[in-house]
Structures are given as C-alpha cells and as structure tokens.
Amino acid sequence: MVVGVLRLTLYIQGASSLKDKRQVVRKVVDRLRSRFNVTVAEVGDNDIWQRAVIGIGAVSNDRSFVNEVLDKCARDAGKIAEILNREMEIETYSEMKADWSQKPEFDAHDLSRLPPGQDEEELPEQRPPGWLKEEDLE
C-alpha cells in the first residue's frame, strides 16, 4: 500500500475577506476531488484572507501512480491560485504484521464481550446489541 500526502500553501490574490478566500478554496477542493479522486481539505491558515494551506491525500498500490496524481493535483491547483510552497511525502507500507497468528481476534460488532476486569454480575441490564448508553461513553 502506498500513501501520498501533498501540502500546498496557496496565495489567493485579490481576496479581501474570508468569504472571497473560501470561494477560491472551495473551487480548488471540489475540482481536485472530482478530477483526481483524492482526499482534500483546508488544513491551515484558516483566518488569513490571502493564504490557504491545502492537504491532499492519495492511496494506491503503485508509488509512481501516487506521485503522478499528486503532481497533477499541484499543477491543477496552480491554475486557480499561486502556489507559495509545496511539500510531498510518499510512504510505502507492506504487511502491518508479518505473523497473523499474533493478532488478537476481535469482532467489532460483538458487544457481548466483557471489558477487562468486569464480572458478569456487574453487567447492567441487557440491552439490544449495538446500542450504547450514555454512561458507556464516559
């Protein structure tokens, strides 16, 4: 699995309010999402009118594909706003754990298991599976 992250610092010329900035940021975000199927969000400089930091993420099984997609995203964003800074990082992940027998068995939907250190006598009244009470969240 290959994960690529691109951080762009954009200069938004002519923005005289946060509303002007948001309009340009929304255009960049929507365009990149629809054209390149990547994850995009504004990740910094939220209150500065003429500058925005955009984070872009892509996942694939091919490093060169991730690099190409992120390069295209940077080029496309540069058509809308001037790029002041560009940072890219691409990481390759192999198997998370080589020996699968060491992984604990866990069924995320099995709520009948007791938390560590709790006896069956201490269980609250039976509740339908999948429903939590407010005290469960504390």
pLDDT in tens, 9-56: 999 988 889 999 999 999 999 999 999 999 999 998 888 889 999 999
The answer to whether position 96 is within a domain reads no
DSSP designation for 104: P
Confirm whether pTM is higher than 0.85: no
**Does 102 map to a domain?**
no
H or E stretch at 11:
strand 2-11
Q: Is 95 domain-assigned?
A: no
The answer to whether residue 105 is domain-embedded is: no
Q: What is the mean pLDDT of residues 104-124?
A: 56
**C-alpha span between 40 and 82 (Å, rounded):** 17
Confidence of residue 70 (pLDDT cuts 50, 70, 90): very high
Question: What is the residue range of 61's domain?
Answer: 2-89
Q: What is the CATH number of the domain that holds 18?
A: 3.30.70.1120
Give the pLDDT confidence score for residue 93 in this predicted structure: 86
Q: Write down the pLDDT at residue 94.
A: 79
Which pLDDT score is estimated for 46?
84
pLDDT at residue 86 greater than cutoff 90: yes
**Domains in the chain: how many in total?**
1
Q: Give SS3 for 97.
A: coil
pLDDT digits (tens, 9 = 90+) for 116-138: 555 555 555 555 566 666 666 66
∠ CA 29-32-38, rounded to 5° = 100
- 110 belongs to a structural domain: no
Tell me whether residue 16 is in a domain. yes
Question: How high is the pLDDT of residue 6?
Answer: 96
In a domain, 76, yes or no: yes
73, 28 contact by CB (below 8 A) = no
Q: Is residue 126 part of a domain?
A: no
Q: What pLDDT score does 37 carry? A: 93
State the average pLDDT over residues 72-97.
89
